[in-house]
């Protein structure tokens, strides 16, 4: 138990001090760091790694929005507001470049705003195809990744070779496998792996090399496997949305004896639940992974598989209900919600829709609703 808590403390420290993690890595290696905006920077991250640089996830954070309001309208999501605020106030000063995918309407303008506000820092746009599953969509994205790779090579001074990229893909695939193993094992130790610590393990992966995070994961998995499983007596939930922050909401779940046993979060398992396929061409492998990926509001999904994915998570993990964590002003997520609600209600799965944002003045309304939901699940 003590060993598990010590390792979890490492993940927690990394998740809460991303700037420190980045500065230490730059001092140790003398190499460059590239900020990756959400949601779909997978593919670019492997290229950054193959170029000898560190990919760092930029998912906003808790801060006071002041200068960002000069560039973004009031109805933009809090993640992008925080990203712009951090860029304008020097929080991202250690970044040597950005990669920005065209995830949503708001993010289509972010590369231009970053160039306008920090002209000395290169910004690389990643234009993802809507028709991602057809051959021409895969071919297009493979060429897009080649172009991005050339830009990254110029920034790092290290050419991306096919062998280097294949090695990076292997590193990332190994990390995805370890993350999935950890989440499966975590459900046997819900007394230790609380919603908060589950999130810390996942979030910390954005701020260090995948090799180092994989090493920590292996240590944590080993420690958990040597710890007796815990018979959880509370209720179990699956969470879905972009992310589940601020941390106070995660701690509320523990207060009401709710355990997270599965997630469909953009900042969570969507990042690693789809492995990169085998193949001789590493760029096609990167593109094919995006084609194989399912279950996100920000990618084209004509058959609306997300509700089925969430239902399978509920069944596979014996969950009692679903929490839909709706990021305020996130149009793609709001468009998906009616389909999710219909699919879950058709299967008699209880769900709670909770609107969140990173700059919440008060979470007490969320507390009241979570408490009522927990009581409803207990009374079923």
Burial class of residue 117 (count of CB atoms within 10 Å of its CB; 0-12, 13-18, 19+): middle
What's the confidence (pLDDT) of residue 362? 80
Convert 237-267 to b/e letters by CB count within 10 Å (16 or more is b). bbbbbbbbbbbbbbebbbebebbbbbbbbbb
What's the confidence (pLDDT) of residue 195? 98
The answer to whether residues 343 and 313 touch, using CB atoms and an 8 Å cutoff, is no
In tens digits, the chain (380 residues) has pLDDT values of 789 999 999 999 999 999 999 999 999 999 999 999 999 999 999 999 999 999 999 999 999 999 999 999 989 999 999 999 999 999 999 999 999 999 999 999 999 999 988 899 999 999 999 999 999 999 999 999 999 999 999 999 999 999 999 999 999 999 999 999 999 999 999 999 999 999 999 999 999 999 999 999 999 999 999 999 999 999 999 999 999 999 999 999 999 999 999 999 999 999 999 999 999 999 999 999 999 999 999 998 988 999 999 999 999 999 999 999 999 999 999 999 999 999 999 999 999 999 999 988 788 999 999 999 999 999 87
Q: Is the alpha carbon torsion for 186, 192, 196, 199 positive or negative?
A: negative
The answer to whether residues 354 and 324 touch, using CB atoms and an 8 Å cutoff, is yes
Considering the entire predicted model, what is its pTM? 0.95
CATH code reported for the domain at 30-160:
3.40.50.11890
Q: For residues 96 and 92, give the distance between their C-alpha atoms in angstroms, rounded to a whole number.
A: 9
What's the confidence (pLDDT) of residue 148? 98
Burial class of residue 224 (count of CB atoms within 10 Å of its CB; 0-12, 13-18, 19+): buried
Strand order across the beta sheet in which 54-57 lies: 54-57, 33-36, 97-101, 123-126
Domain positions in the chain are: 30-160
What's the confidence (pLDDT) of residue 325? 97
pLDDT tens for each residue of 47-86: 999 999 999 999 999 999 999 999 999 899 999 999 999 9
Q: For residues 55 and 5, give the distance between their C-alpha atoms in angstroms, rounded to a whole number.
A: 27
What's the confidence (pLDDT) of residue 380? 76
3-state secondary structure of 149: helix
What's the confidence (pLDDT) of residue 2? 87
What's the confidence (pLDDT) of residue 360? 82
């Amino acid at each position: 138990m003590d060993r598990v808590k010590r390792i979890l403390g490492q993940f927690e420290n990394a998740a809460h001090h991303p700037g420190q993690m980045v500065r230490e890595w730059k001092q140790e290696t003398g190499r460059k760091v590239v900020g990756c905006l959400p949601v779909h920077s997978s593919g670019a991250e492997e290229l950054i790694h193959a170029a000898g640089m560190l990919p760092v996830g930029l998912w906003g954070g808790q801060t006071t929005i002041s200068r960002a309001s000069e560039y973004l309208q009031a109805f933009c999501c809090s993640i992008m507001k925080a990203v712009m605020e951090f860029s304008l106030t020097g929080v991202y000063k250690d970044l040597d470049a950005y990669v920005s995918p065209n995830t949503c309407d708001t993010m289509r303008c972010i590369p231009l705003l970053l160039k306008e506000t920090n002209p000395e820092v290169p910004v690389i746009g990643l234009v993802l195809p809507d028709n991602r599953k057809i051959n021409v969509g895969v071919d297009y994205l493979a060429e897009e990744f080649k172009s991005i790779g050339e830009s990254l090579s110029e920034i790092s001074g290290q050419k991306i070779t096919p062998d280097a990229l294949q090695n990076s893909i292997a590193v990332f695939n190994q990390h995805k496998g370890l993350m999935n193993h950890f989440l499966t094992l975590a459900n046997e130790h819900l007394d230790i792996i609380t919603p908060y610590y589950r999130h810390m393990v996942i979030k910390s992966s954005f701020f260090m090399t995948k090799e180092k995070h994989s090493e920590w994961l292996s240590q944590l998995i080993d420690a958990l496997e040597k710890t007796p499983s815990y018979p959880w007596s509370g209720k179990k939930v699956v969470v879905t949305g972009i992310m589940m922050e601020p941390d106070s909401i995660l701690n509320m779940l523990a207060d009401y004896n709710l355990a997270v046993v599965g997630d469909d979060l953009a900042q969570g398992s969507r990042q690693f639940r789809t492995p990169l396929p085998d193949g001789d061409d590493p760029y096609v492998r990167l593109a094919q992974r995006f084609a194989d990926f399912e279950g996100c509001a920000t990618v084209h999904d004509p058959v609306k598989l997300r509700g089925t994915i969430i239902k399978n998570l509920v069944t596979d993990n014996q969950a009692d209900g679903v929490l839909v964590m709706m990021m305020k002003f996130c149009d793609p997520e709001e468009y998906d919600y009616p389909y999710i609600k219909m699919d879950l209600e058709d299967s008699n799965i209880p769900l709670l829709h909770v609107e969140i944002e990173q700059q919440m003045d008060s979470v007490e309304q969320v507390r009241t609703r979570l408490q009522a939901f927990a009581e409803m699940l207990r009374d079923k």
